[in-house]
Amino acid sequence: MEKIAEKGALDKPVVGLPPTHTITLRVNGSEKKLQLAPWVSLLDALREYLHLTGTKKGCDHGQCGACTVLVNGTRINSCLTLAIMEEGNDIVTIEGLAKGDELHPMQTAFIEHDAYQCGYCTPGQICSAIGLISEGKAKTTEEIKDLMSGNICRCGAYTNILAAVQEVWQKEGGDINE
């Protein structure tokens, strides 16, 4: 009973409605028009408004990497940016990696190496790994580890994740010099 009363109260706000903006986000190649308050993070816009729940909310403070997405080709933490700030940018989430039934090579490598563990950090790990390769800065295994360290895996699947990243990296012409 109480719940209904509360909901009724919510329908008739005493204070003004939050200021919203009409913004257009370009996500996985298509434009989405949204009505959002300025404080909605990109992460919340993806999950709560666009129902792209592949991107996960772990810490919500930039400390775990679960929310990693690619923006204009580089990886960022979607929890620490406002959706409204991302207008005009090209956003790619885990849902946008496969082409139809054909998985992204990084997704395939994760399967082959049993690098998928919990569903929680895997999407962020894969987006991060793709960003790592396109940034092209890792030259050694140590550097891969360092540049993947923004993604925390609580179950300790790091070894298999490293193997998957290395495989794609070598296929793309990277060599291990150590």
Partner 1 sequence: MNSFTYSRAENLETALQEKTTSLEGRFIAGGTNLLDLMKVNVEQPSHVIDIRHLPFNQITGNDAGGLRLGALATNAETAYNEQIENRYPLLVKAILAGASAQLRNRATNGGNSLQRTRCYYFYDTATACNKREPGSGCSAINGFNRIHAILGTSESCIAVHPSDMAVALAALDATVKVTGPNGERTIPFLEFHRLPGNTAHLDNNLDPDEIITSIDLPAKGFAEYNTYLKLRDRASYAFALVSVAVGLDLEGTIIKEARLALGGVAHKPWRLPEVEASLVGKEVNLENLKNAANALLAGAKGYGHNNFKIELAKRAIVRAILQAAKMEDLT
Ligand X SMILES: Cc1cc2nc3c(=O)[nH]c(=O)nc-3n(C[C@H](O)[C@H](O)[C@H](O)COP(=O)(O)OP(=O)(O)OC[C@H]3O[C@@H](n4cnc5c(N)ncnc54)[C@H](O)[C@@H]3O)c2cc1C
Of 25, 40, 77, 123, the residue at the interface with ligand FES (CB under 6 A) is 77
Name the residue with tokens 């891969």. 144
Which residue bears the tokens 């190496």? 113
Cα Dmax for the chain: 67
Output the smallest distance, CB 122 to partner 1, in A: 16
Work out the burial of residue 68: count CB atoms within 10 Å of its CB; fewer than 13 is exposed, 13-18 middle, 19 or more buried. buried
For residue 127, state whether it binds ligand FES (rule: CB under 6 A). no
For residue 140, state whether it binds partner 1 (rule: CB under 8 A). Answer: no
DSSP secondary structure code for residue 127 in this structure: H
How crowded is residue 107: how many other Cβ atoms within 10 Å of its Cβ?
A: 22
Instruction: Give min distance, CB of 117 to ligand FES, in A.
Output: 3
Q: Which does 57 bind (CB under 5 to 8 A by kind): ligand X, partner 1, ligand FES, none?
A: ligand FES
Interface contacts to ligand FES, rule CB under 6 A: 57-60, 62-67, 77, 79, 117-118, 120-122, 153-155, 157
